[in-house]
DNA sequence: GCAAACAATGCATACGCATTCAAGAATAAT
DNA sequence: ATTATTCTTGAATGCGTATGCATTGTTTGC
């Protein structure tokens, strides 16, 4: 048994069924003009021969591959695993295949895009990876829609879907303010990502509106990872002249979890008794007993739906819409890392 | 700008470069006979036209798609996320594309395989999902190699690569025995999976060899998930006539983590002071401060390499090897959830 | 009962590239 | 200098399917 051997073709099925190859093709193409009787004959013959239509060949003529590329930057963050899962489920439901590319977080995605173009994908979804304008236009030029997921790349005319990160930052700020925190620490992620910056700015702006002095807001870098936030936290609090904040905002849950573990297991502080803590994303892990984290939920399903809507895979002739910047509000999930306000007043 | 518009073909590049279409094809095919000068002319023209070879069309003639399908069953377990990442990285390095399918854990993978066959993939990797013999032979009949990753399906002649689960179970048992545990609880995963069963059997056999009575070994079902193990643990210890075990073995890390949180945060027990705990997989999370779990490390990279070796994508003419059952030993990682033995005597 | 509309089918071709074959150009061997 | 090799190249063809077009058979309308 060697490779690339006996793959049955539509001609062989046609021969067995006593029809033309066209008929076989039609039997497998919903909505095409074929008598039910003929169709059954063909399907019967196909079954006997274990025939499976060759999508590659089909793509060549239809110019549609039914493949969607998903470029992933940071699988170490469970949030993106869930995003991937959601896309995979949804696309499979619609009979689409998912081509995965993993790139280093924050790295250029040019190579991946180039590969993707070779495979004539019907659309590209990009999460947490950079996108050059050259690649954007290459995709657009050949009619391949591309959507940035939870990324905003200034100056790009690629469309995107994201959570209202700024607004989400404000939500966490409001929770902290309501709980009475006066001094703050922000643990930021990838500095090249607008996602982290937007959350931080929304957070700070709201604090300042709430009467907090800028000098009461500090900031450290957590590398978008659990480990990064964990060690950054320890480093920060180990400094002799540190002012202990009342509240810490990790710009994503995985970092907030790292912060929390560092505080409680290494620095001997209790959350929320000594210090309150907020995250962003609402990954399932944030809900677990050791964390039970107050956070902002990103509505993944809705964001995925919006992304697919922009891709509009079902209407390939519709022009690609550029420059869409769909922003979807997050929702504050108040758990136990921020104490309930003393009074609702 | 409508879809499927102006995609440049090799003919247009040929025209601009003043050569034949064959020359263009050769310019992009490593190892083919073409003068360097011609090659440069072609590449120059291609660059001007933003030409990207159409892999779909190429696959049609070469009968190789350079696509490998990865069928994933349980993304809720971070272990499989890392497995996916490892495969993705490795395959990308070799210029292969990865087609992802997610199926419900333990579900039949027939639909996914059928899709995969349509796309003429060069190989299939299956993790934590069932595989019917019919699909196995369909793949084999058309020369598509298929490898089960960390799965063993009795009666199947599909090849597979897995960790020595039985041996790994024994390693954990030995650690517990060395630490002096006398009574045991096992938290099992998916009962249809041999993975869970093998770990459990290895564990039990070794305990019995170590002089433990079968009646001192209990067992509960943890659904292969954090949440399942968490609640199963609480349920178990809430029973009035429960005998408290000295040690608990979660057959994977994610369940061991659930057990640990349930014990410490809900049931007021301390690990390892009141109870020791072991896991399996050595996912990165197991190393984190809150857990620091004693576990068996699965050598993912090595397992991935072995899997790709069986696929032998680079030698498509070599016959598919069936029935290989490659078992790779795990390694005990002794962390703090099992106390060091009193003395090495 | 006849024209007109329609449904079903097959033929032929196109999709974009890889590859075989034969021919021509350049080089090496004698 | 002449023949034998090796390198390059282009024309032609095939990969497996979808589809426009023409043909035939069938139904509908009047």
Plot region of A88 (φ>0 → left; ψ -120 to 50 → alpha; else → beta): alpha
Cβ neighbours of A260 in B, within 8 Å: none
Rg value, chain B, Cα: 26
Which one, of A128, A152, A163, lies nearest residue A296 by Cα? A163
> Which CATH number belongs to the domain containing residue B198 in this structure?
3.40.50.2300
pLDDT of A211: 96
Find the domain containing B43 and state its range.
10-53
Name the DSSP letter for residue B302: H
CB within 8 Å: A99 and B101: no
Residue nearest to nucleotide C9 (CA to C1'): A23
Q: Give per-residue pLDDT as tens, A25-61.
A: 999 998 888 999 999 999 999 999 999 999 999 999 9
Distance A18 CA to D30 C1' (A): 39
Q: Is B86 inside a domain boundary?
A: yes
Residue nearest to nucleotide D7 (CA to C1'): B33
Residue B69: strand, helix, or coil: strand
One domain for residues A100 and A84? yes
CB within 8 Å: B289 and A318: no
One domain for residues B174 and B261? yes
Q: Give per-residue pLDDT as tens, A189-238.
A: 987 788 999 999 999 999 999 999 999 999 999 999 999 999 999 999 99
What is the percentage of chain A residues whose pLDDT exceeds 70? Answer: 97
What is the C-alpha separation between A9 and A247, in angstroms, rounded? 66
The answer to whether A10 CB sits below 7 Å from nucleic acid chain D is yes
Q: Is A18 inside a domain boundary?
A: yes
* Residue A1: pLDDT over 50: no
The alpha carbon of residue A152 and the mean position of all alpha carbons in its chain are separated, in whole angstroms, by 12
- Give chain B residues 45-74 with Cβ within 7 A of strand D: 57, 60-61, 63
pLDDT of A199: 97
Residue A302: strand, helix, or coil: helix
One domain for residues A156 and A247? no
Residue nearest to nucleotide D12 (CA to C1'): B22
**Helix (H) / strand (E) containing A254:** helix A253-261
One domain for residues A268 and A228? yes
Reported residue count of chain A is: 345
Cβ neighbours of A1 in B, within 8 Å: 140-141, 143, 319-320
One domain for residues A172 and A293? yes
The answer to whether A9 CB sits below 7 Å from nucleic acid chain D is yes
Distance A27 CA to C6 C1' (A): 20
Sign of CA dihedral A125, A131, A135, A136: positive
The pLDDT profile of chain B, 345 residues, written as one tens digit per residue, is: 444 457 899 999 999 999 999 999 999 998 888 999 999 999 999 999 999 999 999 999 999 999 999 999 889 999 999 999 999 999 999 999 999 999 987 778 888 999 999 999 999 999 977 888 889 989 998 999 999 999 888 888 899 999 999 999 999 999 999 999 999 999 999 877 889 999 999 999 999 999 999 999 999 999 999 999 999 999 999 998 888 999 999 999 999 999 999 999 999 999 999 999 999 999 999 999 999 999 999 999 999 999 999 999 998 888 998 889 999 999 999 999 999 886 544
Burial of B268 (0-12, 13-18, 19+ CB in 10 A): exposed
Helix then strand then coil, in percent of chain A rounded to 5, is 45, 15, 40
Q: How many CB pairs under 8 A join A and B?
A: 166
Nucleotides in C strand less than 7 A from protein CB: 7-12, 14-20
Q: Is B190 inside a domain boundary?
A: yes
pLDDT of B4: 44
What is the C-alpha separation between B323 and A278, in angstroms, rounded? 52
Q: Is B339 inside a domain boundary?
A: no
One domain for residues A132 and A172? no
Q: Is A341 inside a domain boundary?
A: no
Q: Give per-residue pLDDT as tens, A284-321.
A: 999 999 999 999 999 999 999 999 999 999 988 889 98
One domain for residues B94 and B144? yes
What is the C-alpha separation between B244 and A117, in angstroms, rounded? 60
Cβ neighbours of A63 in B, within 8 Å: 4
* Residue A185: pLDDT over 60: yes
Would you state the torsion angle of the CA atoms of residues B108, B113, B114, B115, taken in this order, to the nearest 10 degrees? 120
The answer to whether A339 CB sits below 7 Å from nucleic acid chain D is no
CB within 8 Å: A60 and B55: no
What is the C-alpha separation between B60 and A57, in angstroms, rounded? 6
> Least CB-CB distance to A266: which of B59, B265, B289?
B289
One domain for residues A263 and A208? yes
Residue nearest to nucleotide D17 (CA to C1'): A58
Cβ neighbours of A143 in B, within 8 Å: 1-7
Closest residue in A to B73 (Cα) is A85
> Least CB-CB distance to B50: which of A57, A65, A138?
A138
One domain for residues B204 and B319? no
Nucleotide in closest CA–C1' contact with A58: D17
One domain for residues B172 and B256? yes
Q: Is A339 inside a domain boundary?
A: no
Q: Is A257 inside a domain boundary?
A: yes
> Least CB-CB distance to A56: which of B115, B120, B145?
B120
Give CA separation, A46 vs A17, A287, B110, B141, in Å: 8, 50, 17, 15
CB within 8 Å: A52 and B318: no
What is the C-alpha separation between B114 and A55, in angstroms, rounded? 11
Distance B131 CA to C15 C1' (A): 35
Q: Cβ distance A338 to A179 under 8 Å?
A: yes
> Least CB-CB distance to B319: which of A1, A142, A145?
A1
The encoded tokens of residue B281 equal: 């997989």
Q: Which residue has the tokens 């019967």?
A: A44
Distance A36 CA to C2 C1' (A): 30
How many domains in chain A? 3
Q: Is B336 inside a domain boundary?
A: no
The answer to whether A23 CB sits below 7 Å from nucleic acid chain C is yes
Nucleotide in closest CA–C1' contact with A26: D18
One domain for residues B288 and B171? yes
Cβ neighbours of A49 in B, within 8 Å: none
Q: Integer distance in angstroms from the first to the last C-alpha of chain B?
A: 79
Q: Cβ distance B16 to B49 under 8 Å?
A: yes
* Residue A3: pLDDT over 50: no
One domain for residues A185 and A138? no
CA angle at B92 for the pair B86 and B95, rounded to the nearest 5°:
150
Distance A271 CA to D28 C1' (A): 81
Cβ neighbours of B81 in A, within 8 Å: 75, 78, 81
pLDDT of A259: 98
């Amino acid at each position: 048994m060697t490779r690339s051997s006996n793959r049955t073709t539509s001609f062989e099925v046609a021969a067995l069924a006593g029809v033309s190859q066209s008929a076989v093709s039609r039997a497998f193409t919903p909505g095409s003009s074929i008598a039910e009787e003929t169709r059954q004959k063909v399907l019967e013959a196909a079954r006997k021969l274990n025939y499976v239509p060759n999508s590659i060949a089909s793509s060549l003529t239809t110019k549609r591959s039914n493949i969607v590329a998903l470029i992933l930057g940071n699988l170490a963050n469970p949030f993106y695993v869930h995003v991937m899962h959601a896309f995979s489920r949804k696309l499979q439901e619609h009979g689409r295949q998912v081509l995965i590319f993993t790139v280093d977080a924050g790295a250029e995605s040019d190579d991946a895009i180039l590969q993707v173009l070779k495979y004539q994908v019907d659309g590209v979804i990009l999460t947490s990876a950079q996108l050059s304008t050259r690649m954007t236009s290459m995709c657009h030029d050949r009619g391949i829609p591309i959507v940035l997921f939870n990324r905003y790349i200034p100056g790009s005319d690629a469309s995107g879907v994201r959570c209202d990160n700024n607004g989400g930052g404000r939500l966490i700020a409001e929770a902290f303010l309501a709980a009475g925190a006066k001094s703050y620490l922000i643990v930021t992620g990838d500095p090249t990502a607008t996602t982290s910056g937007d959350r931080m700015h929304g957070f700070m702006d709201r604090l300042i509106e709430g009467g907090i002095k800028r000098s009461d807001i500090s900031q450290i870098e957590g590398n978008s990872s659990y480990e990064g936030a964990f060690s950054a936290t320890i480093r920060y609090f180990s400094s002799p002249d540190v002012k202990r904040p009342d509240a810490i905002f990790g710009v994503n849950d995985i970092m907030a979890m790292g912060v929390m573990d560092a505080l409680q297991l290494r620095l001997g502080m209790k959350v929320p008794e000594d210090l309150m803590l907020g995250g962003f994303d609402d990954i399932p892990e944030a809900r677990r007993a050791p964390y039970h984290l107050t956070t902002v939920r990103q509505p993944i399903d809705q964001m995925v739906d919006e992304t697919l809507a922009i891709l509009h895979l079902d209407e390939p002739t519709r022009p690609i819409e550029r420059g869409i910047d769909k922003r979807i509000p997050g929702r504050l999930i108040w758990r136990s890392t921020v104490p309930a306000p003393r009074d609702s007043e």
